[in-house]
Amino acid sequence: MAKANVSLGGRDILDLDSLSIEEYEMILQTAAEMKKIMKRDIKKVPSLRGKSIINLFYEPSTRTRTSFELAGKYLGADVVNITTASSSVVKGECLRDTILTVQSMACDAIVMRHPIEGAAAYAAEVADPVIINAGDGAHAHPSQGLLDMFTIREQGKDLKGLKMAILGDVLYSRVARTNIAAWTKMGADVHVAGPMTLLPHDIESLGVTVHKRVEDAIEGADVIDVLRIQLERQKKGLFPSPREYARIFGLNEKRLALAKPDVTVLHPGPMNRGLEISWEVGYCDNAAIRDEVQNGVAVRMALLFLTLTGGKQIENID
Amino acid sequence: MAKANVSLGGRDILDLDSLSIEEYEMILQTAAEMKKIMKRDIKKVPSLRGKSIINLFYEPSTRTRTSFELAGKYLGADVVNITTASSSVVKGECLRDTILTVQSMACDAIVMRHPIEGAAAYAAEVADPVIINAGDGAHAHPSQGLLDMFTIREQGKDLKGLKMAILGDVLYSRVARTNIAAWTKMGADVHVAGPMTLLPHDIESLGVTVHKRVEDAIEGADVIDVLRIQLERQKKGLFPSPREYARIFGLNEKRLALAKPDVTVLHPGPMNRGLEISWEVGYCDNAAIRDEVQNGVAVRMALLFLTLTGGKQIENID
Amino acid sequence: MAKANVSLGGRDILDLDSLSIEEYEMILQTAAEMKKIMKRDIKKVPSLRGKSIINLFYEPSTRTRTSFELAGKYLGADVVNITTASSSVVKGECLRDTILTVQSMACDAIVMRHPIEGAAAYAAEVADPVIINAGDGAHAHPSQGLLDMFTIREQGKDLKGLKMAILGDVLYSRVARTNIAAWTKMGADVHVAGPMTLLPHDIESLGVTVHKRVEDAIEGADVIDVLRIQLERQKKGLFPSPREYARIFGLNEKRLALAKPDVTVLHPGPMNRGLEISWEVGYCDNAAIRDEVQNGVAVRMALLFLTLTGGKQIENID
């Protein structure tokens, strides 16, 4: 473990811009240790025993919520879910009051998903517990960015100088924004393609190359990140029809062949197979989608561990 | 414990047809041990510590979901609930992808309820974790069948040669289909009665005797299994009205008197009292309905224990 | 600890009328010990290990449900949530059957919220596990009453002889009814003000003084308990409009100045800021609203501990 002079003890994890490359490194190395724990016969360690984590989800989510819940439990923490479906604290109460209420229950970390950009940063301002942003509107989803980075490196790839293609709905995607921030910081060459109606107007200011044709983004790519299409965008006229979308922008085998042979295909899930990604590509050997899920638990274990213990007990884990 | 040469380690529990009588025996004997644990002052044992179980419920359920959740927790496992109410993984994602996603989170067992027959078997094909079918459409509900078997034996009854009456909506009932499979295999004499519109066309091929009048099924019965009427069937014209249903098919005291004096009355719950079962019969001494619930937890502990440990640690429990 | 000759072992906690002052004392002293545990780095103690608690909530709730869930987990118990949102046991099943079903799963305590007055008392009659009423209609919410008492005493105030003002919707408020019962029993001087349409007709029989103007209730008060306004009452014509309500009955800084300078402001939450309480008052130094939340967990730990262990293990905790 490169303990170095960084510590994430007590830090809020709001986005990837506010973490240094050294901190990425620390998280990814810790996640590698956590992945070993996940493969043990007995997956439970006492590192976070006596800590309580609240999953505060203002939007429905299964993948991320379950992943954080398991991550916390594998580390021995108590995890309690508050979701808008079952929630009254949320109704008519301002976010500040809800966050302070949760804090008063002696919780150590709040894992928070909210439809509004900046909600997690606001929560971090008002509250003492560690805030981990599990997605705030179209802004950021840092644990997703970190699990993607982990997955890419696990494939033996160093981000520096790689050609990364991000396909699809960049405008509404916190995953896209998060990965663009991290990948450009790491020195990758990031290319973007999708319907013009689903690209931010200022996208080039993010340091990426924009293409009209997905083929140009894919050509020679080391990594392709396929974004999930949200079908309500179609109702809003932002793209013609799912079938047209698949024909023009979907990642299929023919397009995949334009990338490097060992290209890594990412997708944050859940996949709309047959829409933004074909059935074949979703199951092909280049697809690292199941790895992303597994690494997601490991990365979230690392985040909870590092923020709640400052990494002090890493020796006890191994 | 008859350890014998059977082991359920790593086995999926999909229906009762695919389990042998020797395996029934092993499960029921293990459940008897588990019931002792449930009666302890401290109900927690470490047998499944470090194992994670995901309750993946595509249909609302309280009884079965809670029962599996408690069963897992009493054995020291971590249990996480995914229900369609709070779930996005489920929306628009194919079952295969959802199952593989859950598997990638390092879960050891998936307890699964799904509205479509065969869904659990499909999940078992694609996934490595143990799949326990907690009900797939009108097909099977093996833990319910096993808890009924446990309850009948607890009353000192051996299934072989007993007269079993199953009353009501057999067509849409996974409980009926499960118990018919198990009871005929165990050599019981199974009789069925209910509205003709709620009986499968090929029901006699299952090895049961069909009656038009419930009285004929009940006459001299050792066990009566009253199925829950789902009121939406009435809207579809499958029976005239709840009041008529109660009058013609409901189990009341007068009809109960036709059975053996020590008849055991079963109902999978929740009961529609006053409809398929009268208030009096639901609370009478012959009703073993609360035993079914209690035995349900014990049987589910046994299933989780045997599939996740192969029964190797049974000595540690006692 | 004043162990004295009282014990709450096995007792149902249904309302504050049925607890003696000596029992209040015991609970509050135990809660003080529990609050120390909440402030520890490792908040988990094994006092209720092997006990199972079911949160059975027939009404949506986050604050109370989460508070009891954390309370149980901090004490090492297993906690399972059953909420009507995800529940089928509840649909069409009579309360008696649901309670008996939950009991049969070997649970030790049922924490229960129900829209009908007396539901918890009924559950206590039919079931063996400890029943803790977490709110039954407009009747009682004993843990809220106890946490308010704890909060008041923490401010160095003894209830005897204090002027207490309760403002707002007393008619539909279980919090009001609970605090009136406890505070009059403790010898406080309880004053009530609110729209006449939201006061019970027989309110003076409860031993309180009723005022038409909130100012008269607030004047010289030691404690002000602001009740949450439920906006559906407005639709029913029980008060003119939220703006009018705020103008005539809301607690704002000007009105607060009529009370004692060290007045304690309580609110059961979630607050409708700008309606029954102004933004400023909600955040002022007199507001003890976050203390109430924190003390709520401590009081619920005390209730679960005392009812499930009889207080026998208190030495192990410290």
pLDDT in tens, B256-301: 999 999 999 999 999 999 999 999 999 999 999 999 999 999 999 9
Q: Is the pLDDT of residue B148 over 80?
A: yes
Could you confirm whether A235 is annotated as catalytic? no
Question: Average pLDDT of A147-151?
Answer: 98
User: HSE of C45 in the Cβ direction (CA atoms, 13 Å)?
Assistant: 21
Interchain contact, B62 vs C89, CB within 8 Å: yes
Nearest CA in chain B to A298: B105
Residue C15 lies in a domain: no
Closest CA to A300 of A55, A21, A96: A55
- Chain A residues with CB under 8 Å of a chain B CB are 38-44, 60-63, 65-67, 69-70, 73-74, 83, 85-86, 231, 269-273, 282, 290-291, 293-294, 296-297
Q: Closest to A105 (Cβ–Cβ): which among C40, C83, C293? A: C293
Q: B84-88, B202-206, C208-212, C225-229 — which is least confidently predicted?
A: B84-88
Q: Closest to A60 (Cβ–Cβ): which among B49, B88, B101? A: B88
Contact C255, C295 (CB under 8 A): no
* Residue % of chain C over a pLDDT of 70: 94
Are B64 and B79 contained in the same domain?
yes
Q: Is the pLDDT of residue B312 over 90?
A: no
> How far is CA C279 from its chain centroid?
23
| Residues of chain B contacting C90 with CB distance shorter than 8 Å | 62
The helix/strand/coil state of A224 is: strand
How many domains does chain A fold into? 2
Q: Does B254 or B94 have the greater pLDDT score?
A: B254
What is the C-alpha to C-alpha distance for residues C150 and C131, in angstroms, rounded to an integer? 22
Helix axes of A142-154 and A21-38: crossing angle, nearest 10 degrees? 70
Q: Is the pLDDT of residue A86 over 60?
A: no
E strand segments, B129-212? 130-136, 163-167, 189-193, 209-211
What is the C-alpha to C-alpha distance for residues A66 and B102, in angstroms, rounded to an integer? 9
Q: Is A209 exposed, middle or buried (0-12, 13-18, 19+ CB in 10 A)?
A: middle
Q: Is the pLDDT of residue C55 over 90?
A: yes
Are C183 and C112 contained in the same domain?
no
Q: Kindly list the catalytic residues of B.
A: 63-64, 91, 113, 141
pLDDT digits (tens, 9 = 90+) for B29-87: 999 999 999 999 999 999 999 999 999 999 888 899 999 999 999 999 999 999 876 55
Are A185 and A260 contained in the same domain?
yes
Interchain contact, C88 vs B60, CB within 8 Å: yes
Q: Is the pLDDT of residue C234 over 90?
A: no
Interchain contact, A269 vs B85, CB within 8 Å: no
What is the C-alpha to C-alpha distance for residues C51 and C72, in angstroms, rounded to an integer? 9
Q: What pLDDT, on the 0 to 100 scale, is given for residue C195?
A: 94
Output the CA–CA distances (angstroms, integers) from residue C113 to B35, C117, C143, in the order listed.
29, 10, 12
What is the C-alpha to C-alpha distance for residues A209 and A184, in angstroms, rounded to an integer? 11
Are C189 and C274 contained in the same domain?
yes
Which pLDDT band holds residue C89 (cuts at 50, 70, 90)?
A: very low
Q: What pLDDT, on the 0 to 100 scale, is given for residue B315?
A: 47
Are B46 and B99 contained in the same domain?
yes
Average pLDDT, chain A: 92
Are B180 and B95 contained in the same domain?
no
Q: What pLDDT, on the 0 to 100 scale, is given for residue A154?
A: 97
Q: Is the pLDDT of residue B316 over 80?
A: no
Q: Does C204 or C267 have the greater pLDDT score?
A: C267
Report residue A301: phi and psi, to 5°: -60, -45
Q: Closest to B82 (Cβ–Cβ): which among A38, A62, A272? A: A62
Are B35 and B133 contained in the same domain?
yes
What is the C-alpha to C-alpha distance for residues A152 and A117, in angstroms, rounded to an integer? 27
Q: For chain A, how big is the Rg over CA atoms in Å?
A: 19
- ipTM for this prediction: 0.93
Residue B54 lies in a domain: yes
- CATH of residue B280's domain is 3.40.50.1370
Tokens coding B74: 């009493």
Q: What pLDDT, on the 0 to 100 scale, is given for residue A317?
A: 52
Q: Is the pLDDT of residue C53 over 50?
A: yes
What is the C-alpha to C-alpha distance for residues B122 and B99, in angstroms, rounded to an integer? 10
Q: What pLDDT, on the 0 to 100 scale, is given for residue C5?
A: 59
Q: Is the pLDDT of residue B303 over 70?
A: yes
What is the C-alpha to C-alpha distance for residues C228 and C209, in angstroms, rounded to an integer? 20
Chosen for mutation from B101, B107, B313 (greatest number of chain A CBs closer than 10 Å) is B101
Interchain contact, B270 vs C52, CB within 8 Å: no
Q: What pLDDT, on the 0 to 100 scale, is given for residue B1?
A: 41
Name the catalytic one among C11, C114, C141, C300: C141
Residue A5 lies in a domain: no
| Residues of chain B contacting A39 with CB distance shorter than 8 Å | 106
Residue C12 lies in a domain: no
| Residues of chain C contacting A86 with CB distance shorter than 8 Å | 60, 62, 65, 83, 85-86
Residue B259 lies in a domain: yes
Angle, vertex CA A210, rays to CA A206 and CA A216, nearest 5: 145
Which pLDDT band holds residue A62 (cuts at 50, 70, 90)?
A: confident
Are A184 and A252 contained in the same domain?
yes
Q: What pLDDT, on the 0 to 100 scale, is given for residue A234?
A: 81
CA end-to-end distance (rounded Å), chain A = 11
pLDDT digits (tens, 9 = 90+) for A102-142: 999 999 999 999 999 999 999 999 999 999 999 999 999 99
Q: For chain B, how big is the Rg over CA atoms in Å?
A: 19
Residue A12 lies in a domain: no
pLDDT digits (tens, 9 = 90+) for B164-181: 999 999 999 999 999 999
Are C166 and C242 contained in the same domain?
yes
Question: Average pLDDT of A199-226?
Answer: 95
Interchain contact, C67 vs A105, CB within 8 Å: yes
Tokens coding A270: 């859940």
Q: What pLDDT, on the 0 to 100 scale, is given for residue C90?
A: 54
Question: Average pLDDT of C282-297?
Answer: 97
Question: Average pLDDT of A201-228?
Answer: 96
What is the C-alpha to C-alpha distance for residues C85 and C107, in angstroms, rounded to an integer? 21
Could you confirm whether C91 is annotated as catalytic? yes
Residue B5 lies in a domain: no
Could you confirm whether A113 is annotated as catalytic? yes
> How far is CA B139 from its chain centroid?
11
Nearest CA in chain B to A38: B106
- Chain C residues with CB under 8 Å of a chain B CB are 49-52, 54, 78, 80, 82, 85-94, 97-98, 100-107
pLDDT digits (tens, 9 = 90+) for A284-299: 999 999 999 999 999 9
Are C280 and C162 contained in the same domain?
yes
Average pLDDT, chain B: 92
Residue C4 lies in a domain: no
Are C184 and C242 contained in the same domain?
yes
Q: What pLDDT, on the 0 to 100 scale, is given for residue A232?
A: 78
Interchain contact, B290 vs C78, CB within 8 Å: no
Q: What pLDDT, on the 0 to 100 scale, is given for residue A221?
A: 98
Using the 8-state DSSP alphabet, how is residue C85 labeled?
A: G
Are B162 and B283 contained in the same domain?
yes
Determine the structural domain holding residue B268 and report its residue range.
156-287
Q: Does A241 or C68 have the greater pLDDT score?
A: C68
> Other C-beta atoms within 10 Å of C68: how many?
28
* Residue % of chain B over a pLDDT of 90: 85
pLDDT digits (tens, 9 = 90+) for A266-282: 999 999 999 999 999 99
Q: Is the pLDDT of residue C315 over 50?
A: no
Which pLDDT band holds residue B97 (cuts at 50, 70, 90)?
A: very high
